[in-house]
Amino acid sequence: MAKKNILDYETVALDDENNALRIIDQTKLPYEIEILSLTVQEDIWRAIYLLQVRGAPAIGVAAAIGIYLAGREMEASNMNEFYEKFMKAKDYLASARPTAVNLFWALNRMEDVVKANMDKSVDEVKKILHDEAVAIRDEDVWVCTQIGENALTLVKPGDGLLTHCNAGQLATVKYGTATAPMYLGQERGYNFRIFADETRPLLQGARLTAFELHESGLDVTLICDNMSATVMKKGLVNAVFVGCDRVAANGDTANKIGTSVVATVAKRYNVPVYICAPTSTIDLNTATGNDIHIEERPAEEITEMWYKERMAPEGVKVFNPCFDVTDNDLIAGIVTEYGIAKPPYSKSLIEIFEKKKEAFANKAK
């Protein structure tokens, strides 16, 4: 029997038989592949907060499954009572991570299902919530595939691609966002040369992106974050593909800390930067990147998390923002499942949503 690689496991899934959210514990990778089966809301909240499940799309799917599981266990004599309890559970899960808009998008979508079916019985609504959570998960596969197809139009076989953090299959259900063109290209013999930033301080590029790409047989080279200028200056990188956790209406994007540095360097060396963003991460209610709340993480992630011994002096001050904002003038395009938005983003992002609305209307016919 062939040895399973990391992509043979489901990143996030609903285990109907055991009424559980099943995830890969990403804090254990690449040393150990541990599958967690979570049934308690506190454990699901903790898994999102501790980055055991991470990546904007995967967080959204986990939240949808999590709130369904919460609703499934609720005892209520009528829908008004059920809705009140549902909203408490929703607010609790929403408090796990403040920056990734997919968390709120998925929870709001599940709430909309409840509000649209207040005339039905509690048991009927629980079944509808189950089906919606499964639909959100299945849609993520389609979204990532379409992002990959659209992104492939921006590059050619043999190109060198650079990515930061992990916007791969481990951040989604399948293919990833920024890695979708890499996986689809591999299936079609594109022979991309990929550079993965290690991505301090949580090392998602080293532990996750390099791991999953290497396991899948892609040509991947791991580099430290501060090496991006060197590989670009040498002409080894033809395009940068990264994911994001939120896109503002003007095209500013929040992604893992260090993305704005990569984009600034890429601008210097005329390397285009493409943001791979499902429309669920685009927040037209957020005007600019200045309005995005940036999560700050514990100091220990920098001073001691990855070391046998503490690697910074006791008592030293630590600043540990999880994300930074890449200004829209550094971005060549925002790749979505409904096409590629180009500057000016205040116009093109609205056009993307018009395409999405038209697609839904055609599907409903």
Distances (CA, A) of 233 to 191, 228, 343: 21, 9, 25
CA–CA separation, 364 and 356 (whole Å): 12
**β 160-163/35-38 pair status:** unpaired
35 neighbors 47 (Cβ within 8 angstroms)? no
Distances (CA, A) of 176 to 127, 192, 356, 359: 29, 16, 20, 22
Considering 140, 245, 252, 283, which one is annotated as catalytic? Answer: 245
Which element (helix H / strand E) includes 42?
Answer: helix 41-49
Residue type, 148: G
* Tokens linked to 251: 């095209």
The 3-class SS string of 191-234 reads CCEEEEECCCCCCHHHHHHHHHHHHCCCEEEEECHHHHHHHHHC
Residue 110: burial class (beta carbons within 10 Å; 0-12, 13-18, 19+): buried
Cβ atoms within 10 A of the Cβ of 9, count? Answer: 15
Q: Residue 217 forms beta bridges with which residues?
A: none
Q: Does residue 245 carry a catalytic annotation? A: yes
* Tokens linked to 27: 């804090």
Residues tagged active-site: 245
